[in-house]
């Protein structure tokens, strides 16, 4: 530790820290453009100049290491003059187009020009202009505004692992871009918009849409992948206008995946905004009482074990619980939350959670990935793996299709379960102190899914991943609603039927809560289908009764991420038309059929949630621990068949109902679709 | 210049002569630091283009080949190649006339050298290529031979102590396919004083 005095305030910072960090520790604000805590230090904007005692000139505090007894001054005439000079230089080539710039109101350059700039420019010559680059449908570029801080270049190379941006040419002609015109191939590209300190990189879908001060900002959770990134939903009136990440060091740091960020325009399209009831083979618009009556008539005519319920990928915990309770009231144990047929063992939570935790990845020292493409299934989590890989000494083994680029090098061990046995990489894992394994949920969707789960667990047990103080077995889920339903035990009960049995004549009525994961053609012709959801995707077309629900931005709901971390999403806008919050729909229905559920407000159902599973009692936290019991899941590890693993998400940008309704995502899919992936190999 | 506005070759591969050079170049760098060889390899690519097509420049495909060879992202090669003026990012003429225009050369008459290039070479101005495709003239910064100013660098060779007439003569010779011996146009040896050596006379006898 080094003692540093900043403006008379003494602080202690670790050796090797920068002067800028010392200033922050002392609570002093230091303006900066190129410096970013999560990126390497470039030191090229020169805005963070401070005075250091005995230094002959002002120093760039971001790139200057502290020394014992150093005296730093952040607010002297020299510093103020120096910063004013730097700001004048930065503004020489920066256009005065703030009134038409989307960054206006949340622009670092604008704010800092106010605070540190002078009132007028002395530059009389012609400003330079730079041609805008086309780097894909998500990011709009106005390169004349670029101040060449190179944050985007460093982000793409370091965090995203797709080094496609660079600074070409030199001096006054230097430009940031891809040189060869191409769309960025990162699933994290939206973060470039956040880290750009000026208006050079802005959101294309949000272009000229709104000003930051007009937006209602609501903290929520991204549910379009199972990471559970903390987000802020910015809305105006009835519309979500943009989604940006919030900082949560344990989950998403400050990053966010593109699908969650840009697919919200799908919330306005193909929405179910009123109940529908099928009469004479055709769906007719109906009222809530009519829809409820149609369901009640059908369900009351059936014995409990002929009714089934499926909760899907985007079902929140509250409504899943309400549906489970409703089914219990009907006497049905036919529940399934794996609408993708994943063979998940819920007998113990660590069989289906990401036990190492996302932050825990940084402690691991060897990794085996099985049947999973974390880059597509959980881009933010993949960035964490890459962060760990960048830190060094992190061998990664991969079992899955050849030619998958995870943004860090992997040892490809094979493409089928056979590669799991007897591989030399297992010795690497055994030699490691904290080895971990990531099993993709997609690998459990195979017919031998239970065997894959058991085999993966067996490897974890044999390679020392399951220790009292370290749990290295991880299942990576795909969507925000999946783990919540597992925590609530939304699985076949005693004598209950699973989804496969329900789809092969096991039930006569099926209540689908956001269940879009399987092909509707698999539902037998005679089955009465209630579809409760928010998008008129394929499954809704098969329904006999449609109950319009709320999307994740339209309800106060609890979501559980792949780690088993419960987090609350909040209502940002109201659901369209007659759509309602999902658990309230089920509660209202239960009242009408005389099976009233024992909760009627948010607090009551949350108390019930906390009762059902402890994860809901400690929202925002995750119970991390070692593995107390190395006994594996029920599957027979020897029953593996040798079919190669297929990756479940073929088109990253259209993996869920919301993004399938989104125009922006459709454009992305056209550009980054599977044919593109083939060409890249 | 963000995207090339000229015809790019469809493919590029190093020939045997280049490969031999590359083998020795890459050996100079420690294992894992091969990316350091990017500048020499860009030169090799540019030379090969000059040798095979008569126009010494670095097409994008060549940069991609280099990136792959050195296991670095293509953009990192683009950054280096566009940073240095010595790499031509678009096709040039058979002879690259690089006129030094920095102060000592300017004081010693580089404007005349440039005028000669325009007149004799048929080049319209700096950065232009003559219609016959023989000459591209660029104005470059100090070539580090100020004592023999003004300098005209033709490809890799320095021609020194030039004036209008001697430059025209040089260019006419190039047109005839000759390569006059590089060095001083007024016959002085290296950078000796213009009237002959004034000091260290007879030094070589000792």
Are B130 and B52 part of one and the same domain? no
Percent of chain A with pLDDT over 90: 92
pLDDT tens-digit readout, A560-606: 999 999 999 999 999 999 999 999 999 999 999 999 999 999 999 99
Question: How close B75 gets to chain A, by Cα (Å)?
Answer: 6
Cβ-Cβ contacts under 8 Å for A258 (sequence gap 6 or more): A138, A186, A187, A188, A189, A190, A379, A653, A668
Q: Is the pLDDT of residue A680 over 50?
A: no
Q: Are residues B117 and B144 in the same domain?
A: yes
pLDDT, tens only, A66-87: 999 999 999 999 999 999 999 9
- CA distance readout (Å), A329 to A493, A506, A596, B152, B162: 13, 19, 9, 95, 102
Query: Does the pLDDT value for residue A677 go beyond 60?
Result: no
Residues from chain A that touch B5, judged by Cβ atoms under 8 A, are none
Q: What pLDDT is stored for residue A12 in this prediction? A: 95
Question: Nearest CA to CA, how far is B114 from chain A (Å)?
Answer: 24
From B55, B83, B111, the end of a domain falls on B83
Quote the minimal CA–CA distance from A323 to chain B in Å.
52
Q: pTM value?
A: 0.93
What is the tens place of the pLDDT at every residue in A487-530? 999 999 999 999 999 999 999 999 999 999 999 999 999 999 99
Cα separation values, A670 from A64, A446, A653, Å: 46, 28, 9
pLDDT, tens digit, 9 for 90 and up, residues A620-657: 999 888 998 889 898 888 888 889 999 888 899 999 99
Chain A residues touching B76 at Cβ < 8 A: 163, 166
Question: What gap in Å lies between CA B171 and CA B117, rounded to an integer?
Answer: 7
Q: Identify which of A482, A477, A470, A253 has the alpha carbon closest to the alpha carbon of residue A383.
A: A253
Q: How much is the pLDDT for B203?
A: 63
DSSP 8-state class, residue A506: I
pLDDT at B5: 64
CA distance between the termini of chain B = 57
Q: Residue A678's pLDDT is what?
A: 45
Do B30 and B77 lie in one domain? The reply is yes
Same domain, B104 and B72: no
Which residues, 6 or more positions from B93, have their beta carbon under 8 angstroms from its beta carbon? B55, B129, B130, B133, B134, B135, B136
Give the residue from B51, B83, B115 where a domain finishes: B83
Q: Taking 80 as the threshold, does the pLDDT of residue A271 lie above it?
A: yes
Q: List, in order, residues 6 or more apart from A237 with CB less than 8 Å away.
A: A573
**Judgement on whether residues B67 and B117 belong to the same structural domain of the protein:** no
Instruction: Give the CATH number, domain containing residue B131.
Output: 3.40.30.10
Structurally, how many domains does chain B consist of? 2
- The answer to whether A71 and A2 have CB atoms below 8 angstroms apart is no
The reply to whether B108 falls in a domain is yes
Residue-range definition of the domain harbouring residue B150: 95-184
In terms of domains, do B104 and B68 share one?
no
- Same-domain status, B50 and B75: yes
In chain B, which residues have their Cβ closer than 8 Å to the Cβ of A178? 75
For residue A273, which of A529, A515, A536, A516 has the smallest C-alpha distance?
A536
Residues listed for chain A? 681
Mean pLDDT rounded to a whole number for chain B: 91
Separation of alpha carbons B30 and A592, rounded Å:
78
What phi-psi label fits residue B166: left (phi over 0), alpha (psi between -120 and 50 degrees) or beta?
alpha
Chain A residues in contact with B62 by the CB 8 A cut-off are none
How do residues A165-221 score in pLDDT, each as one tens digit? 999 999 999 999 999 988 999 999 999 999 999 999 999 999 999 999 999 999 999
Q: Which of A157, A164, A180 sits opposite B3 (nearest CB)?
A: A180
Chain A residue with CA closest to B83: the answer is A169
Distances (CA, A) of A559 to A137, A316, A473, A598: 30, 6, 22, 21
* Cα distance between residue B158 and residue A469, in whole Å: 71
DSSP track, B50-95: HHHHS-----HHHHHHHHHHTT--HHHHHHHHHH-TTS-SS---SE
Chain B environment of A177 (Cβ under 8 Å): 2
**Shortest CA gap B81–chain A (Å):** 8
Check CB contact under 8 Å for B75 and A169. Answer: no
| Cβ contact A515:A312 at 8 Å | yes
Burial class, A586, CB count within 10 angstroms (exposed 0-12 / middle 13-18 / buried 19+): buried
User: pLDDT of A275-331, one tens digit each?
Assistant: 999 999 999 999 999 999 999 999 999 999 999 999 999 999 999 999 999 999 999
On whether residue B1 sits in a domain, the answer given is no
Q: Does B60 touch chain A (CB under 8 A)?
A: yes
Q: Is B71 on the interface with A (CB under 8 A)?
A: no
Residue B73 sits in a domain of what CATH number?
1.10.10
Tell if the CB–CB gap between B82 and A181 is shorter than 8 Å.
no
Mean pLDDT over residues A6-16, rounded? Answer: 95
The C-alpha of B4 sits at a distance from chain A's nearest C-alpha, in angstroms, of 8
Interface test with A, best of B79, B80, B83 (most A CBs within 10 A): B79
Looking at chain B, the whole-number percentage of residues with pLDDT higher than 90 is 83
Residue A681 has pLDDT above 60, yes or no: no
Which residue, among A135, A243, A194, has the nearest Cα to A659 in the 3D structure? A243
Q: Is residue B116 part of a domain?
A: yes
Residue B11 lies in a domain: no
Place of tokens 């802005």: A202
B46 in a structural domain: yes
3 state SS of A172: helix
Cβ-nearest to A175 among B2, B60, B76: B2
Q: For residue B204, is pLDDT > 80?
A: no
Q: Which of B42, B82, B86 to mutate to probe the A interface, most A CBs <10 Å?
A: B82
Specify whether B109 is located in the same domain as B66. Answer: no
How distant is the Cα of A188 from the closest Cα of chain B, in angstroms? 18
Residue B74 placed within a domain: yes
Q: What is the largest CA-CA distance in chain B?
A: 60
Beta strand A528-533 with A509-513: parallel, antiparallel or unpaired?
Answer: parallel
- Please report the pLDDT score of residue A58 as a whole number: 96
For residue A369, list its beta bridge partners. Answer: A398, A438
Residue of A nearest to B78 (CA): A168
CA atoms within 13 A on the CB side of B125: 0
A-B contacts (CB, under 8 Å): 41
- Answer yes or no: is B49 within a domain: yes
Task: Give the N- to C-terminal CA distance of chain A in Å, as an integer.
Answer: 48
Instruction: Name every chain A residue with its beta carbon within 8 A of the beta carbon of B78.
Output: 166, 168, 179-180
Q: For the segment A369-379, what is each residue's pLDDT rounded down to a tens digit?
A: 999 999 999 99
Distance, CA of A231 to CA of A391 (rounded, Å): 27
Residue B100 shares a structural domain with residue B158: yes
Chain B residue numbers touching A173 (CB-CB < 8 A): 1
CA A91 to chain centre: 36
Residue B44 sits in the same domain as residue B71: yes
- B126 and B64 share a domain? no
What residues in A contact B1, CB-CB < 8 Å?
A: 168-169, 173
pLDDT of residue A675: 54
The mean pLDDT of chain A is 94
Note whether ipTM > 0.90 here. Answer: no
Please determine, for residue B58, whether its predicted confidence score (pLDDT) is greater than 50: yes
| Domain endpoint, select from B35, B62, B83 | B83
Residues B78 and B100 in one domain: no
- How far B189 CA sits from the closest chain A CA (Å)? 37
Residues A449-485 have pLDDT tens digits of 999 999 999 999 999 999 999 999 999 999 999 999 9
Nearest CB to A181; choose among B3, B74, B82: B3
- Has residue B206 got a pLDDT over 60? no
The verdict on a CB contact (< 8 Å) between B78 and A164 is no
Residue B200 lies in a domain: no
B67-125, pLDDT tens digit by residue? 999 999 999 999 999 999 899 999 999 999 999 999 999 999 999 999 999 999 999 99
For residue B8, give the H/E element and its range.
none
Q: Which residue of B has its CA nearest to A164?
A: B75
| pLDDT (0 to 100) of residue B194 | 77
Query: Cβ B75–A133 below 8 Å, yes or no?
Result: no
């Amino acid at each position: 530790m080094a003692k540093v005095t900043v403006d008379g305030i003494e602080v202690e910072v670790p050796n090797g820290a920068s002067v800028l960090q010392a200033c922050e520790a002392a609570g002093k604000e230091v303006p900066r453009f190129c410096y970013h805590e999560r990126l390497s230090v470039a030191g090229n904007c020169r805005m963070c100049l401070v005075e250091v005692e005995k230094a002959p000139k002002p120093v760039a505090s971001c790139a200057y290491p502290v020394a014992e007894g150093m005296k730093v001054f952040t607010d002297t005439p020299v510093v103020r003059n120096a910063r004013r000079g730097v700001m004048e230089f930065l503004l020489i080539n920066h256009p005065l187009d703030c009134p038409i710039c989307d960054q206006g109101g949340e622009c670092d350059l604008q704010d800092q020009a106010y605070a540190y700039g002078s009132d007028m420019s002395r530059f009389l010559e012609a400003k330079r202009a730079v041609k805008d680059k086309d780097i894909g449908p998500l990011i709009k570029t106005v390169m004349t505004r670029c101040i060449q801080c190179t944050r985007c270049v460093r982000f793409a190379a370091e965090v995203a692992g797709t080094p496609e941006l660079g600074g070409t040419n030199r001096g006054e002609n230097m430009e940031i871009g891809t040189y060869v015109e191409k769309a960025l191939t990162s699933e994290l590209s939206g973060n470039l918009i956040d880290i750009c300190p000026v208006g050079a990189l802005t959101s294309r879908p949000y272009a000229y849409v709104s000003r930051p001060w007009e937006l209602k900002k609501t903290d929520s959770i991204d549910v379009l992948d199972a990471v559970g990134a903390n987000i802020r939903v910015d809305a105006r009136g009835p519309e979500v206008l943009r989604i940006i990440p919030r900082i949560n060091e344990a989950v998403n740091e400050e990053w966010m995946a593109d699908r969650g960020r840009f697919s919200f325009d799908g919330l306005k399209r193909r929405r179910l905004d009123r109940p529908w009831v099928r009469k004479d083979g055709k769906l007719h618009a109906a009222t809530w009482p009519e829809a409820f009556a149609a369901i009640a008539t059908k369900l009351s005519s059936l014995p409990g074990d002929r009714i089934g319920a499926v909760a899907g990928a985007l079902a929140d915990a509250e409504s899943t619980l309400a549906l489970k309770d409703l089914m219990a009231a009907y006497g049905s144990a036919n529940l399934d939350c794996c609408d993708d047929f994943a063979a998940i063992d819920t007998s113990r939570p660590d069989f289906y959670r990401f036990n190492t935790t996302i932050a825990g990845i940084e402690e691991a020292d060897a990794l085996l990935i099985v049947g999973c493409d974390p880059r597509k299934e959980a881009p933010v989590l993949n960035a964490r793996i890459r962060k760990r890989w960048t830190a060094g000494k992190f061998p990664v083994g991969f079992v899955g299709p050849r030619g998958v680029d995870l943004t860090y090098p992997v040892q490809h061990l094979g493409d089928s379960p056979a590669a799991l046995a007897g591989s030399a990489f297992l010795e690497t894992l055994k030699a490691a102190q904290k080895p971990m394994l990531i099993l993709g949920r997609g690998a459990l969707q195979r017919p031998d899914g239970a065997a894959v789960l058991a085999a993966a667990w067996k490897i974890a047990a044999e390679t020392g991943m399951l220790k009292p103080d370290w749990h290295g077995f991880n299942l990576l889920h795909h969507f925000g609603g999946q783990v919540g339903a597992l925590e609530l035990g939304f699985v076949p009960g005693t004598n209950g039927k699973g989804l496969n049995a329900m789809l092969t004549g096991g039930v006569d009525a099926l209540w689908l809560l956001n269940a879009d994961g399987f092909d509707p053609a698999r539902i037998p012709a005679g089955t009465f289908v209630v579809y409760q959801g928010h998008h008129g995707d394929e499954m809704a077309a098969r329904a006999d009764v449609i109950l319009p629900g709320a999307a994740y931005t339209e309800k106060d709901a609890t979501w559980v991420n792949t780690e088993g971390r419960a987090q609350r999403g909040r209502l940002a806008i109201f659901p369209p038309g007659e759509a309602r919050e999902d658990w309230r729909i089920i509660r209202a229905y239960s009242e009408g059929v005389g099976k009233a559920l024992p909760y009627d407000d948010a607090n009551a159902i949350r108390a019930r949630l906390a009762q059902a599973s402890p994860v809901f009692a400690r929202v925002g936290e995750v119970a991390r621990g070692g593995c107390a019991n190395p006994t594996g899941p029920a599957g027979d590890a020897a029953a593996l068949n040798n079919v190669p693993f297929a990756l479940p998400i073929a088109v990253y940008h259209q993996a869920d109902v919301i993004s399938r309704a989104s125009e922006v995502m459709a454009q992305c899919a056209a550009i980054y679709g599977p044919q593109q992936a083939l060409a890249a190999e | 210049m963000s995207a090339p506005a000229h015809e790019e070759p469809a493919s590029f591969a190093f020939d045997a002569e280049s490969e031999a050079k590359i083998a020795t170049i890459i050996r100079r760098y420690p294992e894992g630091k091969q990316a350091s060889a990017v500048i020499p390899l860009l030169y090799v690519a540019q030379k090969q283009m000059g040798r095979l097509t008569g126009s010494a420049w670095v097409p994008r495909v060549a940069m991609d080949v280099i990136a792959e060879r050195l296991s670095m992202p293509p953009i990192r090669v683009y950054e280096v190649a566009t940073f240095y003026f010595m790499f031509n990012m678009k096709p040039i003429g058979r002879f690259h006339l690089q006129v030094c225009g920095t102060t000592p050369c300017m004081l010693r008459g580089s404007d005349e050298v440039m005028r000669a290039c325009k007149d004799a070479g048929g080049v319209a101005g700096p950065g232009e290529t003559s219609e016959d495709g023989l000459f591209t003239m660029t104005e470059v910064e100090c070539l580090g031979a100020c004592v023999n100013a003004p300098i005209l660098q033709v490809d890799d060779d320095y021609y020194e102590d030039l004036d209008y007439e001697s430059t025209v003569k040089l260019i006419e010779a190039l047109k005839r396919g000759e390569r006059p011996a590089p060095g001083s146009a007024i016959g002085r040896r290296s950078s000796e004083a213009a009237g002959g050596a004034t000091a260290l006379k007879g030094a070589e006898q000792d």
